[in-house]
Structure 1
Amino acid sequence: MRMRGKAVANQTPVYTAEESETHQKVNITWNSNHTVSYRQVKRWFFDKDHSNGSLEDNVTTLNVVAVVSTVPLPVLPLPDILLSTAGFVARDWGYFMQKSISLSFSSIGQTVAITKMVGQLLFDGFEDPIINMGSAFPLPNTLKIPYDKFGWFYQRNGSYLYDGLFNIDTGQDDIGHVGELKNWNYRNTTEFYQGTCARIDGTAGELWPPKRGREDRVTMYSTDLCRSISFDYTDEYEVEGILGYRYSGGPSIVDNGTLDPSNECFCCGECVPSGVLNVSSCRFGAPAFISYPHFYQADQVYLDQVEGMKPDEEKHRFYVTLEPNTGIPLDVAARFQVNILLDQRPYISLFKNVPKIFFPMLWFEERAAMPQEMASQLKLLLHLPTIGLVVSITLVVIGLITASTTALCCVCRNVNPPLNDSDTKTSNGVLRGKESMLPLMDRNENSTKTILAT
């Protein structure tokens, strides 16, 4: 990692963390306005079999705590681990105080780059003298540092508070709105952006309304970005024998107004070239910027800053594949890269000569694909209308045949009445009853008797 000129970012091995089978929903409340409110808990477990390295591997990366602690930040109601440092307290200090911070950094051996184990950087966290120094400052209770370590997912794993409170439509009034996010943290707009950029639109990312078309846009709200993002139809894709529509994220998701003027409200101050999204307001003022992995679909200026970037559509695009009739996700690949803005600080010797770079820290991919067992159930659900139609037609045909047979039998009975026990036929087909024959026999007998009597 060079700190003068172009930075070098070498992609480390892939470290896979397996998420629990389902997102656990907690504090579920069914509301009278046909919405449901809940929080969710996500848990990840390191998957050694699908990883190319171990959590004990050492990785050299940018000293994020030191970088963020030197950024001038606005006063905010609640600190984040990235701003809960001495730099946060010194944001308005003058030359002499900032020089004091510079000397403090030197005395505790701070460097621009640090080497830590993967497990520490991701989940376990690591202690840092700057955090300890920030904890020693006399701060109000609202600005007390609630963390003792730094890690990208430290204290997030298993937390039911991190993702916030969701309130979604059940679809009882209109199935076309099922799954839509009505409020997040009791609001239908965010406090992190202004104007239309503050609106909360779309779903929570787990279910979409049915009857999706190729011309439709798929929208979801991302709690990590604190904004709604939309996807456009790109192609068809088959998952476990089920045909789905694939919607992919385009440049507009990471645009700050360069390509789409309506995205200018995402700038949060200085607008940077398209390709990175400023989420500093969402991350308590930390200089954090989100992009696609390897600056995919980003302005060339970002690729020129860092060596080792190899954007690839197949590996780095963000997409959602939906079954169009039900709106059920078949395959999802959420891919983003976290970048930290490294900039010069003339009064702090540690960062006096560094170039201005959007430095890639890590990129992640969250994959979710429908398992075979669930796909079989969905196939049955999709085939139910066809099965019902076939059964209905079959029953109608059987009913028609039965009715026709019954009618034919009735006609035959009327034309040729059936024989009863008292009926018989003569040799020439003439029908006679027994009562007409018996008198004839009687007459013959009487006649004989009469002759004998004479």
Structure 2
Amino acid sequence: MQFWLRIFWISVLIHGLTILWTVFIVPKIILMVWEKQTALRKRNEMRSIYLQIPFPLNFKIYFFNVTNPEEVTKGEKPKVQEVGPYAYDEWVSKVDVVDDNAEDTLAYSPLNKFVYNENKTGKGFSQDDIVTVLHPVIVGAVISASESSPALLPILAKAIKSIFRDPESMYLTDKVRNILFDGMVVNCSVSDFAGKAVCSQLKTQLPGLTEIEKNIFKFSLLGPRNDTLGPRTKVKRGIRNSKELGSLVEFDGKKQLDMYDSKECNKFHGTDGWIFPPGLDTDEGIWTFSGDLCRNVKAKFVEPMPFKGLPTDYYEGDLGDQQNDPDEKCYCPTPKTCLKTGLYDLSKCMGVPIIASLPHFLKADESLLEGVEGVHPNNSAHVISIIFERTLGTPVKAAKRIQFNFQIKPNPKVAVMNNVPEVLHPFLWLEESVELEGALLKKVQMVFILKKANTYIRWLILLACLGGIGFSVYLYYQNKDKGVITPIHMINKIMGNNEDEVKEFNSGASSAKSNVSHKSDKSRYNNPAFINDNGLTNRTKF
């Protein structure tokens, strides 16, 4: 084979092998290694991180402090002022872990602990700040009774007077620490029938009610969740099938919910929110089940958004539109009554008549903004957001945000709510966020450094191969018009002659040639053809 042709085919072969190796094989190897590392198998580092997150989540709470409580009691529009954030480090762990090899599942009980972080709290704010907000016990009890047992409202009105010492309004003015963790006083040391009856109901139905003295209780919003085991949860480990990693199998002992009319809405869709399978497509979105909301939540792809050198994508989530979206109809409080866009009823989930929305009614029906003064929705600050690396299934930055509201309206049977306006009244909103950093971020970055190095090497080799092909073409055109003398040994090889035969042939041929030549010289002179007219030979002439 000619030299230029050798260079050409070698370059083409290396070019093809390089594409096969760097485009198909190397990424597959990286993905396979990552899938094995992320599966929740014992002795895997990812399992250890999943069960005990080595850094705290950022947990922040913002209150809607009411600046005109007396006027609202008389029917005026509420004026609210956002105060906060009040920041806490949320340490997340999973305990009582049980593996099921047959199901390829892992069951655990979540355990969250909140620690106040003064440095992350907003400047000028502290846990000892006094705020004025809707009284969750009074307002919650009135709304619940109005919807389920209107006939009991007169008894409830008397109980409110005795238990809460004849309050002037439906608002509570107390310290932030008491509302969130330390507890608001609920005095059940009353002698009247109405007070005793309502206290008896509160003891069984109000979560987090703690007795500090005989018939003296305290109620807080987050105290019951602090350092307390949550609902038992079971997820797929992803050892057999990486696409199932983190998929929710059971929650609180149930394989599906039983609070909605639709089978689809009762099914668990997505993961528990703490781990995700690798290789998700943007069309799929990111599905998680929220135990706080008792429903599935989808974050939709918005746009590519690089993060600290990683090729990540940006996703956003909301609470849907149950009035117009057929898939959200099952979340309507009743088949005939659906909430406005961006709202979700938590009464079935929490046992308290709270309506959830995004903070400041972001992405909710615009009419809600007209009922309250002081709310200012901002997408970047108030939306549910995830910056997600899809190839490895890694969220590098995420923020879950939710606002709690009470639907208030005039109630002539309860004095403190006799003349209030009909409005969805904001109470507070919270944010739970995390950002990947430190050693964990470096591990993810290293994967992409290797992928980038693989890309650079591929292009260098491909360029070298293209150079080789170009050089071979150059050689071809340089030599195409020149004759080529084929060596005798190559001819013999092509003809199939061996060396001994060739030597014997060459030797015989030489002898024959010598004899013939000698004889021809002698006969020449005797040949009439060589004698001229004078009888002389033509030797001289020749």
Smaller-chain TM-score bracket: 0.7 to 0.9
Instruction: Name the structure 2 match of 1:371.
Output: 437
| Matching of residue 245 in structure 1 with residue 313 in structure 2 | yes
Instruction: Name the structure 2 match of 1:274.
Output: 341
Query: Could you tell me how far 1:65 is from its partner in structure 2?
Result: 1.0
Contact 1:245 1:322 in 2 (8 A): yes
The whole-number CA distance in structure 2 between the counterparts of 1:278 and 1:143 is 18
Q: Which has the higher helix share?
A: 2
The whole-number CA distance in structure 1 between the counterparts of 2:189 and 2:381 is 36
Runs of 5+ consecutive residues of structure 1 not aligned to the other structure = 74-86, 395-454
Query: Could you tell me how far 1:371 is from its partner in structure 2?
Result: 0.7
TM-score, L = length of structure 2: 0.63
| 1:212 partner letter | L
The whole-number CA distance in structure 2 between the counterparts of 1:261 and 1:392 is 49
Runs of 5+ consecutive residues of structure 2 not aligned to the other structure = 1-67, 211-217, 461-542
Equivalent position to 1:125, from 183, 190, 196: 183
| 1:216 partner letter | E
C-alpha distance after superposition, 1:80-135 (max 9, x if no partner): xxxxxxx99x9464575355446546853353112111111111112123697468
C-alpha distance after superposition, 1:15-68 (max 9, x if no partner): 111223xx2110100013101000111112111112121001110111121111
Query: Could you tell me how far 1:189 is from its partner in structure 2?
Result: 1.8
The whole-number CA distance in structure 2 between the counterparts of 1:349 and 1:56 is 30
Alignment CA distance shift 1:93-1:273 (3 Å):
same
Instruction: Name the structure 2 match of 1:41.
Output: 111
Equivalent position to 1:260, from 325, 348, 361: 325
Instruction: Name the structure 2 match of 1:76.
Output: none
The whole-number CA distance in structure 2 between the counterparts of 1:14 and 1:37 is 34
Contact 1:242 1:375 in 2 (8 A): no
C-alpha distance after superposition, 1:112-163 (max 9, x if no partner): 11211111111111212369746885569966976132222122111113xx
Contact 1:66 1:110 in 2 (8 A): no
| 2:290 partner letter | S
Instruction: Name the structure 2 match of 1:11.
Output: 82
Instruction: Name the structure 1 match of 2:388.
Output: 322
Instruction: Name the structure 2 match of 1:435.
Output: none
Query: Could you tell me how far 1:204 is from its partner in structure 2?
Result: 0.8
| 1:109 partner letter | P
Instruction: Name the structure 2 match of 1:65.
Output: 137
SS in 1 for 2:81: coil
C-alpha distance after superposition, 1:183-235 (max 9, x if no partner): 11122321332212222111111111111222221100011100000011112
Contact 1:232 1:247 in 2 (8 A): yes
The whole-number CA distance in structure 2 between the counterparts of 1:151 and 1:141 is 14
Instruction: Name the structure 1 match of 2:411.
Output: 345
Equivalent position to 2:374, from 289, 308, 311: 308
| 1:45 partner letter | V
SS in 2 for 1:11: strand
Instruction: Name the structure 1 match of 2:222.
Output: 153
C-alpha distance after superposition, 1:410-448 (max 9, x if no partner): xxxxxxxxxxxxxxxxxxxxxxxxxxxxxxxxxxxxxxx
The whole-number CA distance in structure 1 between the counterparts of 2:203 and 2:221 is 24
Question: Which stretch shows the higher mean deviation, 174-183 or 237-246?
Answer: 237-246
Instruction: Name the structure 2 match of 1:429.
Output: none
The whole-number CA distance in structure 2 between the counterparts of 1:14 and 1:173 is 43
Instruction: Name the structure 1 match of 2:61.
Output: none
Contact 1:264 1:271 in 2 (8 A): yes
Q: CA RMSD in A?
A: 3.0
The whole-number CA distance in structure 2 between the counterparts of 1:166 and 1:349 is 44
Question: Which stretch shows the higher mean deviation, 220-229 or 275-284?
Answer: 275-284
C-alpha distance after superposition, 1:224-266 (max 9, x if no partner): 100000011112223332221111114xx242x2230221221
Contact 2:143 2:408 in 1 (8 A): no
| 1:336 partner letter | I
| 2:209 partner letter | Y
The whole-number CA distance in structure 2 between the counterparts of 1:355 and 1:237 is 44
Instruction: Name the structure 2 match of 1:77.
Output: none
Alignment CA distance shift 1:354-1:185 (3 Å):
same
TM-score, L = length of structure 1: 0.75
Contact 1:57 1:118 in 2 (8 A): yes
Contact 1:135 1:145 in 2 (8 A): no
SS in 1 for 2:86: coil
SS in 2 for 1:381: helix
Contact 1:63 1:114 in 2 (8 A): yes
Aligned pairs for 1:53-452 within 5 A = 53-72=125-144, 91=149, 93-94=151-152, 97-98=155-156, 100-101=158-159, 104=162, 108-109=166-167, 111-129=169-187, 133=195, 137=199, 147-148=209-210, 149-161=218-230, 164-195=231-262, 196-250=264-318, 253-255=319-321, 257-269=322-334, 270-284=337-351, 286-384=352-450
The whole-number CA distance in structure 2 between the counterparts of 1:309 and 1:144 is 29
| 2:305 partner letter | Y
SS in 2 for 1:319: strand
SS in 1 for 2:228: coil
| 1:304 partner letter | E
C-alpha distance after superposition, 1:303-341 (max 9, x if no partner): 011001111111111111211111011000111111112
Contact 1:134 1:145 in 2 (8 A): no
Contact 1:240 1:375 in 2 (8 A): no
Question: Which stretch shows the higher mean deviation, 135-144 or 295-304?
Answer: 135-144
Alignment CA distance shift 1:106-1:293 (3 Å):
closer
Query: Could you tell me how far 1:12 is from its partner in structure 2?
Result: 0.8
Contact 1:176 1:210 in 2 (8 A): yes
Larger RCO: 1 or 2 (CA < 8 Å, sep 6+): 2
Contact 1:66 1:130 in 2 (8 A): no
Instruction: Name the structure 2 match of 1:50.
Output: 120
C-alpha distance after superposition, 1:265-304 (max 9, x if no partner): 21113322112111111111x2201101100001011101
Instruction: Name the structure 2 match of 1:24.
Output: 93
Alignment CA distance shift 1:34-1:117 (3 Å):
same
SS in 2 for 1:67: helix
Count of residue pairs the alignment pairs up: 373
Contact 2:188 2:199 in 1 (8 A): no
| 2:436 partner letter | M
The whole-number CA distance in structure 1 between the counterparts of 2:281 and 2:199 is 57
